[in-house]
Every structure is written in structure tokens, then in C-alpha cells.
Amino acid sequence: MVGQVGKISQCGKFAPLGEINSGRNKPISTRETGVSLKDMNVSDFEVVGKVSDFEVGRGRAVPYDGRMVAVFRQESGEWYAIDDLCPHMGASLAEGYVEGNSVTCPWHAWRFCVADGTWEDNPRVKVDSFEVQVDGDDVKVRERVVEKEGDVE
């Protein structure tokens, strides 16, 4: 895309600057706020289940912070989480078909990158994505934080 400024999503799609985040919360950026993570009072990870609750290569919807989040345990060993609510008509993205880092909505086949929430058919739109941490047998989720250099948690 000549002449456009943007970034490549984690699923390899180009997202021009000015992307739209369809969710209610956007990633917290310490670069934008100039405030450290400690000062931002970022919430700790919250346990959403046990490792054995999540099937490899499938999504599972879990409650987190008053909403449903789709957690994906990938064959690669990676874990991802995005908003479970499809922005089209509200299907559960956790019920979608997973192929690589893409999930296809079970109702009308919109595709989303599970790594960063990008809508693959229109990378300017994203659903919220979350950080996932596996701590022993616990699977934990928290809102995504974008750190600037030098930040220490």
C-alpha cells in the first residue's frame, strides 16, 4: 500500500493509522499518557480457568471484568484472548473456527486475528485484545498494556 502509513497486525494484515477499535476499552499506552504502569494502577491478571479447561486449537469464552472474553490455546503453545462479542451481530467468537491465528465467526464468517483482535477483512477495525498469562495450572487474563521503553512492572 504505497503512500499509506500504518502497521502490520500480528496476523500479517496492514492497518492504516487511525484504526477503529470497536470495543469499549482501548489498550493502555504509557507512551501516550507518560505515566508509569505503577502510577496507572493497572489491574492484575485475573484467573479465568485451569489449563485443562481449554482445548488446544479451540476458543473458550470466559467472564472477565463484566464481559465475555474468548481465550484461544493455540497449537503453537501461544495463548491469546480477544473480546468474545463479534462486532457484526454479537456471535461468540470463541465458538468460531480457528485456523492458525485466525478465528472465523460462526454466524457470518467475519475473520479476526486472535493475537491482536484485528478484523482481517478490514484491518482498520479491531476488537479488544487481552494479555494472557499461564501461571502453573492457572490461566489468567488482563487488559492489554502497551509499555514504553524503560517501564518496569
Nearer to ligand FES, 74 or 92 (CB): 92
Nearer to ligand FES, 15 or 70 (CB): 70
Determine the 3-state secondary structure of 92 from DSSP: strand
Please tell me the distance from the alpha carbon of residue 109 to that of residue 131, in angstroms, as a whole number.
25
Q: How far is the CB of 102 from ligand FES (least distance, A)?
A: 13
Please tell me the distance from the alpha carbon of residue 86 to that of residue 112, in angstroms, as a whole number.
9
Nearer to ligand FES, 38 or 88 (CB): 88
**Residue 81: CB atoms within 10 Å:** 29
Q: How far is the CB of 5 from ligand FES (least distance, A)?
A: 29
Q: Which is nearest to 122 in space by CA: 94, 148, 87?
A: 87
Nearer to ligand FES, 126 or 140 (CB): 126
Tell the residue number behind the cell numbers 484472548, with chain if given. Answer: 81
Cell of residue 112, nine digits: 479476526
Q: How far is the CB of 121 from ligand FES (least distance, A)?
A: 10
Kindly list the residues in this chain that would bind ligand FES in the complex (CB under 6 A).
86, 88-91, 105, 107-108, 110
Cell of residue 152, nine digits: 518496569
Q: How far is the CB of 86 from ligand FES (least distance, A)?
A: 3
